[in-house]
Amino acid sequence: MERLDKILVSQGVGSRREVQKLIKKKSVTVDGDLILRPEFKLDPEESEIAVNGQALSFKKHIYIMLNKPAGVVSATKDNSQKTVLDILPENLKRKGLAPVGRLDKDTEGLMILSDDGDFAHKILSPKKHIYKRYFARLDGGLNTEMIENFKNGIELSDGEICLPAKLEIADKNSAYVEICEGKFHQVKKMFLTQGLSVIYLERVKIGGLELDGNLHRGEARELTNYEKTAIFIGK
């Protein structure tokens, strides 16, 4: 059982103060009954809530796909730079929302955001071996020897050894890389050991979830139930 005002805030109806005003203005009903007390308690999964006559579709958690543009940081808050939360449409924002993993500021592509901590942990846990697929454009030529190097596990300049990765050459200067861990600047550092610098990087897939080709840079939408499952099926 939860407070009515807390439920409305969690669903993005408004701030605590805003939803309390709505309730006192006789704008909220529960199972058809007018409720005037913000502290009124109910089970949101068992009751029907309506705001201004519109039924509220309660969601315990939210799961979002964002096509991250360059120049935006993967954080919940930053005093000097725009974050992935800042660029979300208002209808997708809610308390506790955070990026699942991170992308470098200049890296674009698929990012998942959620307020479900267990869901995020399952994606990020090294034990799950969920691969992330990236498209990289390099400043020099690739060769087949690099495929074996990535497969055997790249040793970075600081001596840290990466888990085996998949390198698929697309053309002379671009490739797809799949890794199942998330070390800081990992893809860029792996290519540096091969004498190459990454000039463009985009994440295109997480597990079995591909970036929606209809989602433009900076746009976001909720994941379908199938897509949430696909993350773990195609790991």
- The residues that are catalytic are 104
Q: Which two tokens stand for residue 61?
A: 């958690």
Q: Which two tokens stand for residue 10?
A: 């969690």
Q: Which two tokens stand for residue 120?
A: 């995020």
Q: Which two tokens stand for residue 107?
A: 């890296």
- Asked whether 202 and 108 are in contact (CB, 8 A), the reply is yes
Which of 139, 138, 132 is closest to 165 using CA atoms? Answer: 132
CA count, 13 A, side-chain hemisphere, 129? 4
- Asked whether 212 and 67 are in contact (CB, 8 A), the reply is yes
Q: Dihedral sign, CA of 66, 72, 78, 80?
A: negative
- Asked whether 185 and 199 are in contact (CB, 8 A), the reply is no
Which residue type sits at 137? R
**Residue 220 and residue 113: Cα distance in Å, rounded?**
10
